[in-house]
């Protein structure tokens, strides 16, 4: 199967997103500049790239498990969605759950980018919905 092409524009001199292994689903995103993420706070980190997705695709900005496990760093709106018609700079909202400040250096791998094709659906207003065994049981309904 032929891979889909996503065009990437460098806005500053940064590494292009890259897979670290052949089996990696995500492309690592790098920070375009140094920043500090204070304890129990967040910071918007620019990546220095913009992308052009084909119609019908999205890119999801996801956390890196190593940053989460080692430093308590995650992504505030995970996964962050980049729509196919967005052409601005990709930015990452890092949050710091630790009690120590987190130093981001220019070029650090801070997140990963995963591409997908969301289902195309249409929404139809309805006065009632069909019944199920679960019904409206919500959070924690299975124990």
Structural domains of the chain sorted by starting position, each given as residue range(s) with its CATH number in brackets: 7-116 (2.70.40.10)
Query: Which two structure tokens, joined as six digits, stand for 94?
Result: 């890092």
Distance (Å, whole) CA 34 – CA 66: 19
Query: Over the stretch 10-62, which tens digit does the pLDDT of each residue have?
Result: 999 999 999 999 999 999 999 999 999 999 999 999 999 999 999 999 999 99
92, 14 Cβ separation under 8 angstroms: no
Question: For the segment 52-104, what is each residue's pLDDT rounded down to a tens digit?
Answer: 999 999 999 999 999 999 999 999 999 999 999 999 999 999 999 999 999 99
Angstrom distance (rounded) from CA 114 to CA 4 = 13
Show Cβ contacts of residue 134 under 8 Å, excluding neighbours closer than 6 positions. Answer: 141
3-class DSSP assignment, residue 69: helix
* pTM of the predicted protein model: 0.88
b/e map of 7-20 (b: 16 or more CB within 10 Å)? eeeeeeebeebeee
């Amino acid at each position: 199967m032929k891979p889909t092409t996503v065009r990437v524009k460098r806005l500053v001199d940064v590494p292009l997103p890259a897979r670290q292994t052949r089996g990696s689903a995500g492309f690592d995103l790098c920070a375009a500049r140094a920043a500090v993420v204070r304890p129990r706070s967040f910071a918007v980190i620019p990546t220095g790239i913009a992308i052009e997705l084909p119609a019908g695709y999205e890119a999801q900005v996801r956390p890196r498990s190593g940053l989460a496990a080692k430093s308590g760093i995650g992504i505030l709106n995970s996964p962050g969605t980049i729509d196919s018609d967005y052409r601005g700079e990709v930015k990452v909202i890092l949050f710091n759950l630790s009690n120590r400040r987190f130093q981001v250096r220019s070029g650090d791998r801070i997140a990963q980018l995963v591409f997908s094709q969301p289902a195309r659906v249409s929404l139809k207003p309805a006065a009632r919905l069909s019944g199920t065994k679960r019904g409206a049981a919500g959070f924690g309904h299975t124990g």
